[in-house]
Structure 1
């Protein structure tokens, strides 16, 4: 999927409560789902692209403290190109990060909640070849087919009927969109968000001009409070 929203304007993204419901449903889905909670958590809490999560290795985790912010340093991604289009014949091929030259890296903060997920994941499942964090039950790569099945079934279980019939979280990439939108709505300066997410500032502001689910009403309330009759300015 392209690193942008589909045409059609400002779409809503999930809020933290919906994200936690979804991640809980992923964990409860199955043994395979337990392996994917931190996988999807990396998209929501760290704004990683799916191909960046697939490539994540223990060597990328610079710090993972308990009850505090950690840090990861991304070096590569493994986008899905199809075996006919890769030099190795594999479905995925390791490449430089998107919008980065070969050898460039990207530092991303690890939210304390994501840090807990990653520590629990590593304790329970260990690592795969070359320190890979996310692998299948038989030691292979996390496949699109496997995580898409869990994603859609967990979404259906976690969401209310109204949420499930809406465009909210319709694809895994929407978790990344929600992360970036959350950072912006929290007041993190756009250049910092762009650096963490691997965007230019111009693209960031164009793509992420949207609201988090439920925040439109808060925004209108704040505008009303600032402009209602009798309001004074300092």
Structure 2
């Protein structure tokens, strides 16, 4: 757990990671902010879809969490991909979880969309090639 000052320092430090041309850190600021301000698991943030976000120009927003993208490895997933789609932890597989988010996070997510857009399938966070954001991308940061 971090306090507000430590959280702001963390996000500032994340923004400075990587070279300017690769944007690694800047791509991950909103990802880590989701964990900090919306109490999301990393796999929930990886599975966040733009269509499930209410991001008004002013005020509080809402993220409706519906799936996770945990890293399991190709041998352990039904799809043969490293990240299988899954339901939310400790919930019915079809359940969702609405999360109210503060204006600060709404602004960060709107800025992220403006700068980076979404993955082809509508996921909010992707790696630099547009694929699923892997744990190795954010663990290093």
2:125 to 130, 134, 155: 134
1:13-55 Cα deviation digits (max 9, x unpaired): 2100000011011112231110000000000000000110000
> Residue 29 of structure 1 corresponds to which residue in structure 2?
17
Runs (5+) with no aligned partner, structure 2: none
> Residue 8 of structure 2 corresponds to which residue in structure 1?
20
1:64-85 Cα deviation digits (max 9, x unpaired): 1234110111111111111111
- TM-score of the aligned structures, taking structure 1 as reference length: 0.57
> Residue 95 of structure 1 corresponds to which residue in structure 2?
86
Q: Secondary structure at the match of 1:101?
A: coil
Runs (5+) with no aligned partner, structure 1: 1-12, 151-234
- Separation (CA, whole Å) in 2 of partners of 1:137 and 1:36: 11
> Residue 30 of structure 2 corresponds to which residue in structure 1?
38
1:91-130 Cα deviation digits (max 9, x unpaired): 1110111111121111101111111110000000011122
Where relative contact order (Cα < 8 A, 6+ residues apart) is larger, the structure is 1
- TM-score of the aligned structures, taking structure 2 as reference length: 0.93
Which 4+ stretches in 1 moved above 3 angstroms?
none
Task: Give, in angstroms, the shift of residue 148 of structure 1.
Answer: 0.8
Q: How many residues align?
A: 137
